[in-house]
Amino acid sequence: MRLSMTSDLWWKNAVVYCLDIETFADGNGDGIGDFRGAIQRIDHLDRMGVTCIWLMPFFPTPDKDDGYDITDFYSVDPRLGTLGDFVEFMRVARDRGIRVIADLVVNHTSDQHPWFKEARSSRNSRYRDWYIWSDKPEPDDPEGVVFPDKEDSLWEYDEKTEQYYYHRFYRFQPDLNTANPEVQDEISRILGFWMELGLSGFRVDAVPFLIEQVTDSGDDLPDPHEFFACLRAFLSRRDGSAILLGEVNLPYPDLVKYFGNDLGDELTMCFDFISMQRTYLSLARKDARPLAAALRERPNPPRDSQWATFMRNHDELTLDKLSDSEREEIFAEFGPDKDMQVFGRGLRRRLPTMLGGDLERIKMVYSLLFSLPGTPVLFYGEEIGMGENLELEGRLAVRTPMQWTPHRNGGFSEADPAKVGLPITKGDFGPEKVNVSAQERDPDSLLAWITRLIRHYRDCPEFAWGKYTVLDTGVDAVFAHRADCDGETVVAVHNLGDAETEVELALEGLDSSKVLTDLLVDGRIEIGDSGRVSFPMGRYGCRWFRASTPETAPADSSDPS
């Protein structure tokens, strides 16, 4: 397919890398990551092939919720740098051809935000209606409490004004009244401000909670889809190539509405939580069928929209869309200790520890990620196989400092270790054994493998752009799919099992005039006249094939010609 098309809609086959400035690299030696430190590490991302950086919140904050409790949407937290440092970061990223998006956290503010301080000063405050108030706490839905280990209600009493304010998350994060037109205008101004400083879009936090019916006032709320359509229109007016990447953890029929249904005029991209959770069920069972079923059920996004795929993110590894018994299967396999679980619905572990450090299996999972239909998203440290620190509370377990070298503080900071904001992971997954500098020199490392996967993923736009078909493999442990676009075909096959097996595929529309060339290892497979092929798959094996004529096939060193 034409590369000019992939440039126009850059997000459809981007490689997105999520990082937290606070834990990525310390540039001034105070023990806290900052923009100046991150600037010095951008070339690591460039060498990997990352095309888009997603920044977790970097705004001023009391830091009770790792930066998601914001006190100023128009500035940088002084611990992390200045607006000037942010602009320098953007400049260096742009020089390397890397776009940058940032978290848009406008479901709530900190209770220390000037807006809320003013709102709770009087019922007549000009900011009163910027938040949600009620004379009595409305009935709570226990399942609606996002953090049941910390909160038992969605309402908090304010003694001065003798009303309750609504908080979907923590009590120190009052929800904004996003149904208020003034608040909606302010959100647009926030987007516009950061776009002027170079951002190419936003990851929208907690999308389903942005506009909710939470009181019995009888007032009709605006349609949330109309709100997102207006937000997208504003974004497009400012920059037609900018994106909104939505955190929408809903069943497919409800989720697809946030794309704007067939119009595609709301969120540009949505995370695919369903297939992620089914992937872990497949890994736990060593059975590809749950993942295959999810992808067969998944609706196609609008033409110029896209799914975002991931194996891990900065939150808990949520398993909330699985049944209780399915969730228990995953817990038993990957997080049997209660301390490894969180909120009763997820795991606070990283992939390498869940897989026992089995490098073959870990590499297979990332091969699967990069071949799945959609845009892959990596969480910092995934490229080297970082582990978690279960000594930290809750979701902080997976947000430990980046491990650059085997030396003090893992190369994250030159500060005294006692002054480092979060402790460095220890043991088999600590920086002495897992770090960037060592893996850069090891051609068999996970970093080398992911760099290779990114290169081939970028060479196979069919995975992101093409029409995909889940193939019958005849082997429960093996997942296979093909992607077709503009007459080109790529096929990916992954063995989720720990035993060697033989796979036979029926490739409709292909025949003996074509061959399959393996893109990850040397090897070429002849296709029968009926379109059937068979080949072995090793333990946790992964193969990417491109179909082509023998004359146009990619080079293969095993071919004597």
Kindly tell me if the per-residue pLDDT of 247 is higher than 70: yes
Kindly tell me if the per-residue pLDDT of 218 is higher than 60: no
The predicted-structure confidence for 486-539, as pLDDT tens digits, reads as follows: 999 999 999 999 999 999 999 999 999 999 999 998 889 999 999 999 999 999
Q: Quick one: pLDDT at residue 209?
A: 87
Q: Are 41 and 404 spatial neighbours (Cβ–Cβ below 8 Å)?
A: yes
Q: Give the mean pLDDT of 356-378.
A: 98
The predicted-structure confidence for 39-71, as pLDDT tens digits, reads as follows: 999 999 999 999 999 999 999 999 999 999 999
Q: Quick one: pLDDT at residue 220?
A: 59
The predicted-structure confidence for 124-164, as pLDDT tens digits, reads as follows: 999 999 999 999 887 766 667 888 888 889 999 999 999 99
Helix pair angle (273-285, 324-334), 10° resolution: 60
Q: Are 225 and 258 spatial neighbours (Cβ–Cβ below 8 Å)?
A: yes
| Architecture (CATH level 2) of domain 114-166 | Alpha-Beta Complex (3.90)
What are the distances in angstroms from CA 81 to CA 53, 95, 307?
A: 18, 20, 33
The predicted-structure confidence for 421-454, as pLDDT tens digits, reads as follows: 999 999 999 999 999 999 999 999 999 999 999 9
User: Active-site residues: which are they?
Assistant: 205, 247
The predicted-structure confidence for 259-272, as pLDDT tens digits, reads as follows: 998 889 999 999 99
DSSP class of residue 39 equals H
Enter the pTM of the model: 0.96
Domain ranges of the chain: 3-104+181-456, 114-166, 467-548
Q: Quick one: pLDDT at residue 554?
A: 84
In angstroms, the CA 98 to CA 47 distance is 11
Q: Are 523 and 556 spatial neighbours (Cβ–Cβ below 8 Å)?
A: yes
Q: Given pLDDT bands bounded at 50, 70 and 90, which one contains residue 1?
A: low
Superfamily assignment of 467-548 in CATH?
Answer: Golgi alpha-mannosidase II (2.60.40.1180)
Q: What percent of the chain is modeled with pLDDT above 70?
A: 96
In angstroms, the CA 213 to CA 351 distance is 37
DSSP class of residue 468 equals E
User: Residues in the chain, how many?
Assistant: 561
The predicted-structure confidence for 284-296, as pLDDT tens digits, reads as follows: 999 999 999 999 9
The predicted-structure confidence for 3-46, as pLDDT tens digits, reads as follows: 777 778 999 999 999 999 999 999 999 999 999 999 999 999 99
Kindly tell me if the per-residue pLDDT of 217 is higher than 60: no
Q: Quick one: pLDDT at residue 216?
A: 59
The predicted-structure confidence for 220-245, as pLDDT tens digits, reads as follows: 566 889 999 999 999 999 999 999 99
Kindly tell me if the per-residue pLDDT of 482 is higher than 70: yes
The predicted-structure confidence for 179-215, as pLDDT tens digits, reads as follows: 999 999 999 999 999 999 999 999 999 898 887 756 5
Q: Quick one: pLDDT at residue 142?
A: 64
The predicted-structure confidence for 392-426, as pLDDT tens digits, reads as follows: 999 999 999 999 999 999 999 999 999 999 999 99
In angstroms, the CA 155 to CA 136 distance is 9
Phi, psi of 505 (to 5 degrees): -120, 145
In angstroms, the CA 528 to CA 523 distance is 16
Q: Quick one: pLDDT at residue 215?
A: 59
* CATH 3.40.50.300 at 3-104+181-456, yes or no: no
Q: Quick one: pLDDT at residue 34?
A: 98
In angstroms, the CA 39 to CA 62 distance is 24
